[in-house]
Amino acid sequence: MSDSRRNSMLFKTMAFATGALLFNTVCLGQQVQSVPLPSADTSLISADGTAHVTRIVPVPTTVSPEARKLLARPASDRAVAESLADRRRKTDEWQTRAGEAFRALYPVNVTSQTIAGVPTRVITPLTTPENKRDRVLINVHGGGFNSDSGSFTETIPLANMTQTKVVAVLYRLAPEHPFPAAIDDTVAVYRELLKTYRPEKIGLYGTSAGAILTAEVTVRLRQLGLPLPKALGIFSGMGDFSQPGDSEALYALNGFSGHLDPPLPHPDRQIEYAGHIELKDPVLSPLYANLNGLPPTLFITSGRDLLLSGTTILHRAFLRSGVDARLIVFEALPHAFWNDAALPETKEANSFMATFFDRAME
């Protein structure tokens, strides 16, 4: 993923309304443009392989009525300037509302706790069976590395459905604390939890930025000679900061609708999360790491996810390394749709996640 793309994309407020049914995209460097409704689909491939594409995409009937309603809501394609303070404020407000919606569906207890000097949220089921008290899930939340867009929404359903304690790491955020601060904080929490839990009873997972961090932290744990967790969940992520995937030229955070920036690499520029680290560093970009012997991993993405390419590319790298890596691709939905409590597909995605960790940590 390019630095310019990541600055403008990964650091936006998570939004989950998508749908403009018409899109006109000129890949590899040209801005998406609004045009009159065409009378037919068109596709022109120029000599250098750049695709100039116009498509009319109907709302699919293969998703739930709730998802079809979501996909039919347009979002502005215009870039909107937003300060980091405003982004964090809006994300915090959204996270609180979304957390309440999930908690109404999945009752849990939520407390705050400092572990190894790192603030965390600890989410526990209302009751924990005896045979599940010796295990824990660690969540590294999404939010573009610069805000918290998941420490409630990514944890509450899994704590309830697996009847397992979940520790959400409130890691230090970029740009104030670039790579590897978030990794160091997560490793510190993991080290501390190893004093209480056996590694085969620990799962590690995240969404978006948290999915990226999940792979990064695992590579770092191996470098440090620490035992690896039993299972990983990489939910809409990627493992290569050095180049963008094809899906970034097609989709915004909202799928077909919403502001889209050209996925151009600018290796000479500093990016907020990676700083001046070599973009193919094996911890920053686990695609270039030794992945042999990593734990069983569940990958989840969706058909209109801007990180669809990144997720599938990393999944294939896991497979090539002999890892028990499983991939689920949901139909049509946008990036990290499981943060929307109203979708039946969200319930299904959470069920897949919970079942995977339940079986892995039996």
Closest CA to 356 of 146, 216, 141, 205: 205
Burial 291-311 (b: 16+ CB within 10 A, else e): beebbbbbbbbbbbbbbbbbb
List, in order, residues 6 or more apart from 307 with CB less than 8 Å away: 208, 211, 236, 237, 238, 245, 247, 248, 301, 335
Average pLDDT score over residue span 47-51: 92
Output the pLDDT for position 336: 98
d(CA 241, CA 7): 12
pLDDT tens sequence across 166-175: 999 999 999 9
Question: Would the pLDDT of 304 be above 70?
Answer: yes
Q: Which fold has domain 3-21+57-360?
A: Rossmann fold (3.40.50)
Residue 66 CB-half CA count within 13 A: 11
Burial 39-66 (b: 16+ CB within 10 A, else e): eeeeeeeeeeeeeebbeebeeeeebbee
Average pLDDT score over residue span 57-62: 94
d(CA 183, CA 297): 19
Output the pLDDT for position 314: 98
Output the pLDDT for position 11: 32
**What are the structural domain ranges in the chain?**
3-21+57-360
Question: Would the pLDDT of 74 be above 90?
Answer: no
d(CA 197, CA 271): 36
Output the pLDDT for position 36: 63
pLDDT tens sequence across 326-354: 999 999 999 999 999 999 999 999 999 99
Percent share of the chain, pLDDT over 70: 88
pLDDT tens sequence across 84-136: 999 999 999 999 999 999 999 999 999 999 999 999 999 999 999 999 999 99
Output the pLDDT for position 39: 72
Largest CA distance in the chain: 65
Which residue type, as a one-letter code, is found at position 154? E
d(CA 216, CA 235): 14
